[in-house]
């Protein structure tokens, strides 16, 4: 039997990048930006004049190394991997300094996944998968098959035909799909 393939984005889907971004940003600039402040926007959109500083923060070799795993993500991906082929597709080309830290993070928290299925890319339209779970509309809009928008602060006002708010909803979506086969 050929397994269907799920491609999963890393940042803001598997890894809580916002948590660390806010910690580093608030400390560096002595500010008090909260998750609620990011409703409908990304941090760099709120402070476009700090673009160079954001690039330095995100390209620091260790920035992506100690991100928190999203709640219920690991357990859900482990269960899904019994029924689907899992590919991790992260747009690391946007942050070239992140490769090593992202790879190490994935190996630490998702050791059960085959690292031959870790894809460090830019535009995810190159990914050959049946599904793509991502928090960025622009990635989903260029993807050829079924996209699933993972809810994050910045995309809360976006419309998309399939949206999951957390990993419980993702698990239900895919397990219900299995039951229909």
Decide: helix, strand or coil at residue 2. Answer: coil
- Of the residues 11, 16, 134, 135, only one is catalytic, namely 11
> In the annotation, is 11 catalytic?
yes
- Of the residues 9, 16, 134, 135, only one is catalytic, namely 9
Cβ-contact 65, 105 below 8 angstroms: yes
Decide: helix, strand or coil at residue 90. Answer: strand
> In the annotation, is 134 catalytic?
no
DSSP 129-158: -SEEEES-HHHHHH-SSEEEEEP-GGGTT-
Sign of the torsion angle spanned by Cα atoms 144, 146, 152, 156:
positive
Residues annotated catalytic, as ranges: 9, 11
């Amino acid at each position: 039997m050929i397994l269907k393939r799920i491609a999963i984005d890393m940042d803001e889907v598997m890894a809580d990048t916002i948590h660390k971004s806010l910690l580093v940003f608030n400390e560096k600039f002595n500010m008090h930006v909260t998750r609620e402040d990011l409703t409908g926007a990304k941090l760099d959109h709120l402070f476009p004049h700090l673009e160079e500083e954001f690039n330095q923060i995100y390209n620091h070799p260790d920035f992506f190394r100690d991100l928190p795993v999203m709640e219920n993500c690991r357990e859900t991906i482990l269960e899904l991997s019994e029924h689907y082929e899992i590919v991790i597709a992260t747009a690391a080309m946007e942050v070239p300094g992140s490769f090593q830290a992202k790879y190490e993070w994935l190996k630490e928290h998702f050791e059960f996944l085959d690292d031959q299925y870790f894809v460090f890319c830019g535009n995810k339209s190159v990914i050959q998968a049946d599904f793509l779970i991502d928090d960025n509309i622009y990635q989903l809009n260029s993807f050829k098959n079924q996209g699933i928008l993972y809810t994050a602060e910045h995309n809360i006002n976006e419309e998309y035909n399939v949206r999951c708010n957390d990993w419980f909803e993702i698990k239900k979506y895919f397990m219900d799909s299995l039951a229909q086969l």
